[in-house]
Structure 1
């Protein structure tokens, strides 16, 4: 097994040997995937009528004084969790909500915990690499790295031109945003970030119809 095995479609293939067709959901393959946190929240709701008002958040990284897993109420500011963990080290340069591959940079410590907040990662200056962006050299590394066999280089070209409907026809919505394409790109092109924007625009357009 290799990253990203946590994605539900990858997990289904690895564990059951089944493939979920493009554009379909796990239920279409006769499978339901539920993580531990979701299962526990369903049990709390059904058994004791407790809604989802808290969740476990991992506060970690070399920039955190005392890393910990915390059970916190939804809406808790990030700064409160960080204070509880001893605060940030002086060398801390960036906060990431989520993990190092799929997480998103967060500038404000006032941001609240939401139901999808799984972790806060504090990175120090020595771990931050600012990449210069160059033109795509058609090396094919992103295609080789994509776990669901998309063509990230071509999707990136379409995104640059704003051809979002064409991206959708190239199975953009199957992208799990694992970040593998951006990670291996020698030109430093933020592929997965452009895919997130394209997917958001497509969803917004569909909602307006």
Structure 2
């Protein structure tokens, strides 16, 4: 074997030996710490006060009923919207109805008073979520009860109404007026009848955010 080959093998062997020695004696310091983390979900809790808004009898065509109620956010999360869902049934006392009584009961207005504004051009800019709509037509609509329906003049001059939505711990004052419409025609088929209205206020949370 040539001298260069012998030297080469010797160097390789020495290098391997050093590598093994180094690998066998290498050490390091370490330290470990734990973290305690919590993901607690908030609550979405909308209530209506009072829960019965209208309970009247002996109605006749032409009567108007005005009521007040509150939408209250009792949860810990903000509410972005509250969809109003309408459902009703009619108890036909005489069994002779050819028309839907819901077509004769009109919501003159459903106003969110907290979002009503004043502007110097038009005066009060009532935030009417529903306006001049029969219960029959309202069945196919889902207005947002806490939306700020800002008019151009309110936007231009500014207003004192609240923004859309309902913050945690806040409440909105609502005003509603119903009318049993007198259409000037024969409405005798509705004598003794009762319309049972269910309004469901469906709250949606605010959008998520980076935390």
Q: TM-score range by the shorter chain?
A: under 0.3
**Greater share of helix:** 1
Q: Normalised by the size of structure 1, how large is the TM-score?
A: 0.20
TM-score normalised over the length of structure 2: 0.20
Bigger Rg, which one: 2
Bigger share in strand:
2
